[in-house]
Chain A
Amino acid sequence: MRRFLPSSTCHSFVCQGILMSESQATVSNVVIGDLDRTPLYELHCSLGARIVSFAGYAMPVQYPLGIISEHLHTRARAGLFDVSHMGQAMLAGPHAVRRLERLIPGDIAALAPGQMRYTQLLDADGHILDDLMVTRLNDEGGCERLFLVVNAATKAEDFAHLAAELPDCKLAVLHDRGLLALQGPRAAEVLHRHLSSAAAGSIAAMPFMSAKSLEWQGNALAISRSGYTGEDGFEISIPATAALTFARALLTDPEVRPIGLGARDSLRLEAGLCLYGHDIDRTTGPVEAGLLWSISKRRREEGGFFGYAQVKRAIDQGPKRRRVGFLLEGKAPAREGSDIVSCDGEIIGRLTSGGFAPSLGRPVAMGYAGAAYSVLGTQVSLIARGKPLTAKIVPMPFVPHQYFRGI
């Protein structure tokens, strides 16, 4: 048996997850030993995880439960994800909000303390350097403070970019904190059980995209109601020294199972969410990527951010291509890199993500198609291993979001 994922897919974590020949296994074992580890690395190993290389970290791609069961468990109950490889930082300065807005199209000035936004770091051409979460914290000592969470693979470049472009702000990278995600319909009740009653009361009412600071056994937690699965859930920033104890406590809960990167990927794909380095990167802009919802009316009109001219042009004239979702007719999956072919045989784009959707029991994909073709209901062929697979363009998310908008 030989693995033959297209080379473009081999940049993802999948490749090192399957060790099909002796030489690959040896190479991979050496690599794993050289990788960075999160505070939960030993826990993953003790839980029987398969460890792979992802963004320079040794991360669990799946546990013995398997990707499909982990995925379905998260949709039905609650899944615990280690996302400590992601970059966390505090940006502070007298005008940190306006300064950061020069680098991103997101409306940070509109955030009250405790509110957060999804946005993108753009370059001067309006291309996406990374996507990130920005949380407004309370001002302190005359400084506006923002908590940032960025992707693992890009964090060094992101932080260098922020430091260079925002010289009058203080950027503190939080190397000493872990990040856990608890996702799923039971996430809120689980968190409620494991926090002190005073803290727990305030968790239940938190709406999606809000954040709170809480204490757990003397440790300062920063909890946000957010995630990357389409489910209700939380992300919890915690001192690295306490991350293992907290994770173990959550895992004692009968509702909670540990979930690896494999199911994290299939969950976000079903939710229609972009994976940086695949669905968005330095060649794509926020409008064609379908992220215009993350740019407020004020920012669309006022601009004042890197790449505004390009973003404005894409808004006014419409993008040349658009990120769209595909539902495949058969059971064979089409993966990243597959050509998208129109019914008259023309290549109209390429897939950026694709795979089996466990909640639907069938394959789905997303990719960029020329604007003329990116119309819902359009039938196309996706070329997987030289063979055309019939698919049609459908709305995303593929599985409805279940975010908690408040009582």
Chain B
Amino acid sequence: MSTTRYTKSHEYIRAEGDTGIIGITDFAQAQLGDVVFVELPSIGKTLSKGSEAATVESVKAAAEVNAPVSGEVVEINSALADSPGLVNEDPSGKGWFLKIKLTDPAELDSLMDETAYREFVEELS
């Protein structure tokens, strides 16, 4: 069973055991607009919680995607190289960014669950 947690900077992590899939939320993709380029880290890179994990460029803006928790990059979504628009079409599915092996699954507890994130986003809009 997986648990999904959210950051205040609009990344999600869907964790199952000691691995987690990281992407940006539907709210984030809507704010960015049409995504035209995603730069992903190399496999094996160690990310600390809050550090830059990827960059995403839309037609008009560039943004940094931070690691919601610490871990080592074990897989990246290579489909984004040719189809960056997947981030807009299916941010929580085919538009995922990277998979990490969590250093400390307890770090997930500091993040928002879905209810808390939904309330957080409602306050923004």
Spell out A's residues near B (CB within 8 Å): 1-5, 14, 17-22, 25, 61-62, 66-69, 262, 265-266, 331-333, 335, 355-356, 358, 363, 385
The A interface, classified by DSSP as helix, strand, loop or mixed, is mixed
List residues of chain B with CB within 8 A of the CB of A22.
8, 120, 123-124
Residue pair B24, A1 in contact (C-beta under 8 Å): yes
Residue pair A356, B36 in contact (C-beta under 8 Å): yes
> Is B61 in the interface zone, CB < 8 Å from A?
yes
> Is B76 in the interface zone, CB < 8 Å from A?
no
- Least Cβ–Cβ distance between A261 and chain B, in angstroms: 9
Spell out B's residues near A (CB within 8 Å): 8-11, 24, 28, 31-34, 36-37, 39, 55-66, 81, 84, 88, 120, 123-125
- Least Cβ–Cβ distance between A67 and chain B, in angstroms: 4
- CB-defined A-B contacts under 8 Å, sample of 9: A1-B24, A3-B64, A4-B64, A18-B63, A22-B8, A262-B33, A262-B60, A265-B60, A333-B57
Residue pair B63, A61 in contact (C-beta under 8 Å): no
Given contact pairs A14-B60, A18-B61, a sample of 6 additional A-B residue pairs in the complex whose CB atoms are under 8 Å apart: A1-B28, A18-B60, A67-B60, A68-B34, A331-B37, A355-B60
Residue pair B124, A1 in contact (C-beta under 8 Å): no
Residue pair A2, B60 in contact (C-beta under 8 Å): no
How many A-B residue pairs have C-beta atoms within 8 angstroms? Tell me.
Answer: 90
- Least Cβ–Cβ distance between A62 and chain B, in angstroms: 6
Residue pair A19, B31 in contact (C-beta under 8 Å): yes
List residues of chain A with CB within 8 A of the CB of B31.
18-20
A67 to B85, CA, bound (A): 13
Residue pair B11, A68 in contact (C-beta under 8 Å): no
A138 to B88, CA, bound (A): 52
Residue pair A5, B33 in contact (C-beta under 8 Å): no
A42 to B106, CA, bound (A): 48
A19 to B88, CA, bound (A): 17
Which A-chain residue is minimally distant from B11 (CB atoms)?
A: A1
A258 to B65, CA, bound (A): 31
List residues of chain B with CB within 8 A of the CB of A2.
9, 63-64, 66
A355 to B36, CA, bound (A): 10
From the candidates B39, B65, B120, name the one contacting A332 in the complex (CB within 8 A): B39
Which B-chain residue is minimally distant from A265 (CB atoms)?
A: B60
Contacts A1-B66, A67-B33 given; indicate if A266 touches B61 (C-beta within 8 A): no
- Least Cβ–Cβ distance between B52 and chain A, in angstroms: 8
List residues of chain A with CB within 8 A of the CB of B63.
1-4, 18, 20
Residue pair B61, A3 in contact (C-beta under 8 Å): yes
List residues of chain B with CB within 8 A of the CB of A331.
36-37, 81, 84
List residues of chain B with CB within 8 A of the CB of A355.
59-60
Residue pair A333, B32 in contact (C-beta under 8 Å): no
The 6 A-B residue pairs with the shortest CB-CB distance, nearest first, are A356-B36, A68-B34, A67-B59, A2-B64, A14-B60, A1-B9
List residues of chain B with CB within 8 A of the CB of A14.
60-61
A61 to B60, CA, bound (A): 10
List residues of chain A with CB within 8 A of the CB of B11.
1
From the candidates A4, A68, A266, name the one contacting B62 in the complex (CB within 8 A): A4
List residues of chain B with CB within 8 A of the CB of A69.
34
List residues of chain B with CB within 8 A of the CB of A358.
59
Residue pair B61, A5 in contact (C-beta under 8 Å): yes
A1 to B55, CA, bound (A): 9
Which B-chain residue is minimally distant from A361 (CB atoms)?
A: B36
Contacts A332-B37, A332-B39, A385-B55 given; indicate if A21 touches B60 (C-beta within 8 A): no
A358 to B84, CA, bound (A): 13
Contacts A1-B56, A19-B31, A20-B9 given; indicate if A333 touches B61 (C-beta within 8 A): no
A363 to B62, CA, bound (A): 13
Which A-chain residue is minimally distant from B9 (CB atoms)?
A: A1
- Least Cβ–Cβ distance between B25 and chain A, in angstroms: 9
List residues of chain A with CB within 8 A of the CB of B9.
1-2, 20-21
Residue pair A25, B124 in contact (C-beta under 8 Å): yes
Residue pair B8, A266 in contact (C-beta under 8 Å): no
A262 to B37, CA, bound (A): 17
List residues of chain B with CB within 8 A of the CB of A1.
9-11, 24, 28, 56, 63-66
Residue pair A385, B59 in contact (C-beta under 8 Å): no
From the candidates A17, A61, A333, name the one contacting B36 in the complex (CB within 8 A): A333
A265 to B33, CA, bound (A): 15
- Least Cβ–Cβ distance between B29 and chain A, in angstroms: 10
Residue pair B34, A66 in contact (C-beta under 8 Å): yes
A20 to B33, CA, bound (A): 12
From the candidates B55, B59, B61, name the one contacting A68 in the complex (CB within 8 A): B59
